[in-house]
A and B are shown apart, each in its own frame.
Chain A
Amino acid sequence: MHTENKKTPRWIERFFRLFYAEDVLQEKLGDFEEYYQGKIRNKGKFKASLQSFFQVIRILMSESQLSLYWSFAMFKNYVTIAFRSLKRHKIYSSVTISGLALGMAAFLLISVWVLHELSFDRFHENAESIFRVSEKRHFPDQIRHTFGTPGPLSEQLKENFPEIRKSVRVAMTGERVLNYENKIFYEESILTVDPEFFAMFSFPFIEGDRGTALNNPNAMVIAEQIARKYFGRENPIGKILTMDNKIDFTVTGLIKDVPSNSHLQFDMVVPFDVVENLGWVTDAWDFSMALTYIQLEESVDYRKFERKIAGLVKNHDKDTNIELFLKPLTKIYLYSSYDNPDGKGRIQYVYVFSLLGVLILIVACLNFMNLTTARSEDRSREIGMRKVIGANKAHIIRQFLVEAIFIAFVSLLLAPLLIQLALPGFNKIINETFALSDFFSFAMILVVFGVPLFTGIVSGSYPALFLSSFEPVKVLKKSTTSGRKGSYLRKGLVLVQMSISLILLIASVVIYSQIDYLKNKDLGLSKEHVITIPLGIANEENTQIYKRFKNEIKQTSQIENVTAAFTHPTYFGTQAKDVVFEGRKLDEEMPINVTSVDFDFIETLKIEVLQGRSFSEEYGTEKGNLIINERLATILGDESSLNKTLDIGGKYKGNIIGVVKDFHLESASNAYIGPLILFLNPRINYIFIRVRPHDIASTLERMEQTWLKVAPHLPFTYDFLDEEFDQLYSDVENLGAILKYFTVIAGFIACLGLFALSAFAAGKRTKEIGIRKVLGSSVGNILFLLNKDFLKIILLANVIAWPISWVLMNSWLENFPYHVSLSWSTFVLSGLLTLFVTLVTVSFQTLKASFTNPSNSLRYE
């Protein structure tokens, strides 16, 4: 009958139920009912509801003040109890804490790296209004992006568009020889820039004036490390550095070393005109030679402005297929890469690594949940007592959350130790110089304290809910409480952990097999035992040095062959303009690479000649002769292209004398082999020497002596071609290395959990095992019985992990034009490995349990 009288809004009742135990709840509900009914009679329904609402808020506020005091008192008690229970169960505690510490340390490492990546180029004062102008080249079936822009572009932009506040050109000079008195080095990080460069980018100056430092055509701004290298402790300002033994520069500014989170990396800056001395064309609209950066007025919408300038090049070069586009400075590093300035760059790695960090943390959290619920029985009496004394559900939940957060913070204390241990290796892999102090930046402090809080709340949530639902009567009577529900959940948690570990494992294996594949791929040329020497600049003087060096060194029996080329095989060819074949304009169909080489190039790199012949001194200078690759030959047509004529740039008519087998022109990780034209020309930048494989050290010594004889004013530096090729894959390799370590960590944490869980399972079944043994079970039977559960979990983990990793890794591999195909063996072997590791982990405990003498286990009670 009285249910019909209830008129209080439902939400009030629901709200109170959240906070109050039954008797207090009844009191408040009763009061509100009466209060509400009174209000309805006087003021109507709407006002009554509104006033009730304010009253509820008021209660909440005044009571929370009271409960804060009490919860602080209880908080102390919770921490004390947590501490005691940690001390009492040493194995569980160490497993939980070390698992959490590992997970957190890994997560923090990743966070530091991710924050660093996200901070790229943001230190410039005007970072938000600076953009890089880049080119899109349209071909019938593809679009190619390039950073480079024509030399006159910057000036044109500044003159014609009031939206632009500043505009500068930036070009790299490539490797140059620099000397000061008797100090002589190759330097490769030299920028040539327009004078406004330092007004646009705020690289911090130590000495000199940002505004005027580059006004003088022979001025030079250097970084601290260069100053130390050449001038030691002396003041570098006013000192003279000589480039290429020809041009003198006066140091007018000293800047701090460029931070690693800048996409522009350099040690020295010189005025832009210097590139003219290097023989570059700076006034042509059909030659992309410099990076152009612009700073827009703050109110300008760059998307709109981009449309305004998109077709600018066409005004000056009618035949062009170039469209200009803008890339915000803060997105250059993350959202562009060398071959695709408008695509996804590092951001992919940021995503992958962040995901890894989170997965590891989740594995650690699951571990904690699992262990806490597994030994819930130990705590059940305590919970029963607390409830009898007067704790309600909310109290118990709060207690276990506090306990979890407390343990997470204890684990956090271990993290610096682990991080310190891991940092050297981590820095090496990702090529950075992080120190422990980097973990104390403002953003990191938030992460550092956020992580244990998050970990504690996530991993404490389930145990808290699970444990708080114990009924005091049951647990105090000691009837067993670990129901089916609990054990299914624990198995589920282990399953998730194992699946994550397994997916990581399979991913690592696939990545490593891809790296292996790329490194051992038949490139079409033989990169082993080839030494490369950079010359820095293609001029007559260097050509002479090369010729003398070649003549001298060729006498040595250690040397198989010597040659040279304009470009390096890891990035081969410059794009040719106006390539015409039988009336077809080939360069409008697709980009065509062209480069000059010396005699013996094809022989030294062991490239296979398919048709015709290679360049040979028997035929004199070979002027007007060309060799093309197979790819270009197929484009030219089905019939043999030998002895046909290619017209290059309108002035060079070439006769095709040979076709070589396709060889890779750049990294096999990001491009298919494109069409290529080789011609003979002594303008060269790199020397290639094929040596005999034994005793390379003495060969190198020999080469250095020869070098000092022919070019005493140039430093002798060399590289191995195979290593240079391998470096192209360093990004993938870093991913692989990090993934490998994280797989091990995730696996290790999961094993910690398995270990403790198997100890728990074996412990619970002590008596059962005793009885089984008395009744005649063998050790083998018991072992099977105990391991069976874990075996099932592993099998199921495989079922889950295989399809997920199959899909993931397939889509990853599709990024590579050349890649391995996924094989079943990867999956089966990874599965078997996981199975093996699990069995070993679990068997420590299960073996011990199955060998126990039943008389011991049954003697209890």
Chain B
Amino acid sequence: MRLLSRSEEYVLLAVWRLKGNAYSLSILDQISEVTGYKWQIGAIYVPLEKLRKKRYLKKYKGAPTPERGGRSKFLYELTDAGMQALREIKQVQETAWDGVSKISFD
């Protein structure tokens, strides 16, 4: 597995959570909600594009909506490789953090 950047991980996870309604703005909202930190729209495209180039995400055209000025949504979906990557990330994270909860932070 190629290591992903933290923002890529969040995006990947958000796409999985959104299940079929993942497009740039909804992904943004999702991440903001999870992290509690306001993400900017300008920051979303690069991780999306990088994930797509790594073939973890697939992009497809959705239906046009009036909010978008009659333009189509472009939806994202995990590929099998993306699914696999997400699993591995979880694994790695858990291994890395294993035992930490037992230690007191202060």
By beta carbon, the residue of chain A nearest B62 is: A30
Residue contact B24 to A27, C-beta cutoff 8 Å: yes
A2-B64, A5-B66, A37-B67 known; A30 vs B42 contact (CB < 8 Å):
no
Find the residue from A30, A33, A55, A58 having the highest chain B CB count within 10 A.
A30
Residue contact B43 to A62, C-beta cutoff 8 Å: yes
Inter-chain contacts of B64 with A (CB < 8 A): 2
Assembled-state Cα–Cα distance A37/B71 (Å): 14
Inter-chain contacts of B72 with A (CB < 8 A): 26, 30
Residue contact B67 to A58, C-beta cutoff 8 Å: no
Residue contact B73 to A30, C-beta cutoff 8 Å: yes
Assembled-state Cα–Cα distance A57/B42 (Å): 8
Q: Mark A807-826, 1 if CB is under 8 A from B, else 0.
A: 00000000000000000000
Residue contact A30 to B71, C-beta cutoff 8 Å: yes
Is A8 an interface residue when CB atoms closer than 8 A count as contact? yes
Is A258 an interface residue when CB atoms closer than 8 A count as contact? no
Is A63 an interface residue when CB atoms closer than 8 A count as contact? yes
Q: Mark A3-38, 1 if CB is under 8 A from B, else 0.
A: 101111000000000000001001111111111010
Query: B24 touches which one: A31, A57, A63 (CB < 8 A)?
Result: A31
Residue contact A8 to B42, C-beta cutoff 8 Å: no
Chain B residues with a Cβ closer than 8 Å to the other chain, count: 23
Residue contact A2 to B70, C-beta cutoff 8 Å: yes
Inter-chain contacts of A35 with B (CB < 8 A): 25, 41
Inter-chain contacts of A3 with B (CB < 8 A): 69-70
Is B40 an interface residue when CB atoms closer than 8 A count as contact? yes
Residue contact B74 to A30, C-beta cutoff 8 Å: yes
Assembled-state Cα–Cα distance A1/B64 (Å): 13
Residue contact A59 to B73, C-beta cutoff 8 Å: no
Find the residue from B25, B45, B50, B68 having the highest chain A CB count within 10 A.
B68
Inter-chain contacts of B71 with A (CB < 8 A): 26, 29-30, 33
Assembled-state Cα–Cα distance A65/B46 (Å): 9
Query: B46 touches which one: A7, A56, A63 (CB < 8 A)?
Result: A63
Which parts of B7-40 form the interface with A (CB within 8 Å)?
Answer: 23-25, 40
Residue contact A2 to B74, C-beta cutoff 8 Å: no
Residue contact A34 to B46, C-beta cutoff 8 Å: no
A8-B69, A30-B69 known; A62 vs B46 contact (CB < 8 Å):
yes
Is B49 an interface residue when CB atoms closer than 8 A count as contact? yes
Assembled-state Cα–Cα distance A97/B51 (Å): 44
Residue contact A29 to B69, C-beta cutoff 8 Å: yes
Residue contact A66 to B50, C-beta cutoff 8 Å: yes
Inter-chain contacts of B40 with A (CB < 8 A): 55, 58
B interface residues with partner A (beta carbon < 8 Å)? 23-25, 40-43, 45-46, 49-50, 61, 64-74
Closest 5 CB pairs of A and B: A2-B70, A58-B42, A30-B71, A30-B68, A33-B69
Other A-B contacts than A5-B70, A34-B68, A57-B42, 5 sampled, CB-CB below 8 A, are A8-B69, A23-B74, A28-B45, A30-B73, A66-B49
Q: Can you sample 8 A-B contacts with CB below 8 Å?
A: A2-B66, A5-B70, A26-B74, A29-B69, A35-B41, A55-B40, A55-B41, A63-B46
A interface residues with partner B (beta carbon < 8 Å)? 1-3, 5-8, 23, 26-35, 37, 54-59, 62-63, 65-66
